[in-house]
Amino acid sequence: MDQVTESGTLVVLFKGGEALIHNDLIQILLYARNKDFSIILLTNGILINNKFISILKQINVAFVQVSLLCLTASGNFSPCPGFDMVLGNVYKDSVRDIWESSPSIKSLRKVTNASFTAYMKCDSLDYCNICPAKLYNESGGDMFKIDRCFCEIAKSEKCSAIK
């Protein structure tokens, strides 16, 4: 952020995967605020709670866009358009019941970057885009399973950055 501040950048946008799973997001937002950026946050909203809303107000985030889950023609809700996990079905349950009671949403609300323990040990982590949707879809439903293809991409990115 220091470099883009020097270049005259005024706005910084945080998105994902899901930005809210980053363990240091609040510190990063505070740093962006101290650099006087206008801050935009894109999220699926699953991890937003009253405490986080209070923090966003204190930081004075300019804009928060919440995608209220992806709704398919069959009535299925998923965390985002690229995420094959079904959280509920609007034809069987109310949106409120899905939002508050879905076992899948409850489990997703517990996920942080630290939940991806195998990835946290990787020496190419700084070059890895941990996207729960991609990992879930590619593994057939286990977002915590290491996908060697994504690891190779991260290692290649690391090599390119070092050169």
- pLDDT by residue (tens digit) across 85-140? 888 888 898 888 888 899 988 998 888 878 888 888 888 888 877 788 888 888 89
Burial 94-108 (b: 16+ CB within 10 A, else e): eeeebbeebebbeeb
Strands (E), the chain: 11-14, 38-43, 63-66, 70-71, 76-78, 88-89
Residues counted in the chain? 163
The pTM of the full predicted model, rounded to 2 decimals, is 0.58
In percent, the amount of the chain with pLDDT more than 70 equals 97
The pLDDT tens digits of the residues spanning 7-23 come to: 778 888 888 767 888 88
State the pLDDT confidence band at 31, using cuts at 50, 70 and 90: very high
